[in-house]
Amino acid sequence: MATQETLTPSGDGTDKAAKPADKAPLPVIKRVGLEGVVALDSVLSFIDGQVGELIYHGYDIKDLAENTTFEEVAYLLWKGSLPNRAQLDELNAQLQAERELPPMVLDVLRSVPEDAHPMAALRTAVSALALFDSEADDPSPEANYRKALRLTARTPTIIAAFDRLRKGKEALAPLKRNSTAHDFLYMLNGEEPGTAAERTFDVCLVLHAEHGLNASTFAGRVIGATLSDMYSAVTGAIGALKGPLHGGANVEVMKTLLELDRSGKSPEQFILDKLAAKERVMGFGHRVYKTLDPRAVILREMVQDLSEERGQRQWYDYGVEMMNTMEREKGIYPNVDFFSASVYHMLGIDMDLFTTIFTLSRMTGWTAHLIEQWSANRLIRPRSEYTGPRNLKVVPINQR
Ligand code: SDX
């Protein structure tokens, strides 16, 4: 069993994590996809995949979804405790003050092709933000906190500006007097959201903020562990989240639901046909959860309420029958992406923007993990098992 490396807080981001005590070679552990491998210690979240538990820094996700806002969760992840009223007011004011984009980044978005993949546009604009941030390469904890806040403030502005520009509309300046949820929905739709829509969207942001060493967070920490900068790390994380096996799944779920809606089949038969064709049903399955994702439990209730409120009951009914069929046939359960797709659809958000919304929220988790990584850094560098040929001799090129 490899020695469990413990992290010793250093604060200056240098390579201070405890190294294995002796110099004897560590026993080799090979787990394809690093399944089940513990790579580091973290205080940010805990997941029990057997019982379907998720906590952020000690608080159960259900408690947080019911009783906090996205900004309170951001503070919890960055600072390690829920804010009091004064601390929350200060964070809200800071986010609002940083919401606007540097003009040159807006120019970058104006030059993005209308048919660009929204995650490619977001990845490009987030990367461009670094060029106009004088602190981009400042590794101090204070600068990194300000960058985490700036990135979280500006990601919604980028998404909304991209969507309006591709539709031939002008990007809207943020109102800078409301919650992230409120300002984003205003910048996207050109009208201020109702209380119910704002709260529904805010809960979605709470649910997507943090989830341990998922692929995109791990990608970000690998980049950060080289002592590269926060913008480089979150740009890599956006690239990872884009994939349909990860954050890109919520778009695929909506495509599946629309295909079902057109098919005339029952949800059960639709699923059976997909499984018979050996297809993956997106929005189901998880590397860690072996039961219902607790976020999916909350999102399912939101779909039920929204679908009844908006007279679109089919999205709830489809979801429940698909869920029951997958559980009976494969023992596989919905993950966070399954029901979130229907929520965003009923909020009137374009399907191809769904993963950018995941990014908006997860920017808090990614940046919190980077701040944690740098508090006691150690380069992340696993091994691979060599399966190639050996003892080959080079033949001169004119004889090959
Ligand atoms: C997210 O890690 C995180 O925390 C991620 C996330 C977060 O908050 O950051 O929770 C967000 O990314 C959620 C996952 C979104 N992705 C999808 O919905 C894509 C569909 N799901 C799968 O591709 C799959 O379940 C993964 C990728 C999520 C997990 O894959 P694993 O752990 O590598 O499992 P696997 O691919 O080895 O599958 C095990 C078995 C296989 O059957 P066999 O080939 O062994 O017979 O389960 C089957 C798979 O075929 N299976 C599915 C399935 N998922 C797994 N069969 C049909 N449909 C599916 N969705």
Ordered mean pLDDT values, 10 residues apiece, the chain (400 residues): 36 52 81 95 98 98 98 98 98 98 98 98 98 98 98 98 98 95 98 96 98 98 98 98 98 98 97 98 97 98 96 98 98 98 98 98 99 98 96 98
Question: Are 250 and 283 within 8 A, CB to CB?
Answer: yes
Query: What is the pLDDT, as a whole number, of residue 125?
Result: 98
CA distances from 233 to 205, 228, 270, 294, 308 (A): 21, 7, 40, 28, 41
- CA 83 centroid distance within chain: 23
Most ligand 1 atoms within 8 A of CB, residue of 210, 245, 358 to mutate = 245
DSSP class per residue in 290-354 = SS--HHHHHHHHHHHHHHHHTT-THHHHHHHHHHHHHHHHH---B-HHHHHHHHHHHTT--GGGH
Query: What is the pLDDT, as a whole number, of residue 5?
Result: 35
Burial 244-270 (b: 16+ CB within 10 A, else e): bebbbbbbbbbebbeebeeeeeebeeb
The closest-lying atom of ligand 1 relative to the alpha carbon of residue 287 is 32
Alpha carbon of 224 to ligand 1 centroid (Å) = 26
Alpha carbon of 69 to ligand 1 centroid (Å) = 29
Angle, alpha carbons 202-54-207 (nearest 5°): 15
Alpha carbon of 284 to ligand 1 centroid (Å) = 6
Alpha carbon of 286 to ligand 1 centroid (Å) = 5
The closest-lying atom of ligand 1 relative to the alpha carbon of residue 284 is 60
pTM of the full structure: 0.94
Query: What is the pLDDT, as a whole number, of residue 28?
Result: 83
C-alpha to C-alpha distance for 153 and 95, rounded to whole angstroms: 5
Q: Tell which CATH architecture fits domain 53-245+363-375.
A: Orthogonal Bundle (1.10)
Give ranges for CATH 1.10.230.10 in the chain: 249-346
CB-defined site of ligand 1, < 6 Å = 33, 211, 214, 245-247, 249, 280-287, 330, 332, 335-337
Which residues participate in catalysis according to the annotation? 286, 337
Q: Which class in CATH covers the domain with range 249-346? A: mainly alpha
Most ligand 1 atoms within 8 A of CB, residue of 284, 288, 298, 328 to mutate = 284
Residue 376 corresponds to which amino acid? A
Atom 39, ligand 1: residue with shortest CA distance:
285
Atom 57, ligand 1: residue with shortest CA distance:
280
Give ranges for CATH 1.10.580.10 in the chain: 53-245+363-375
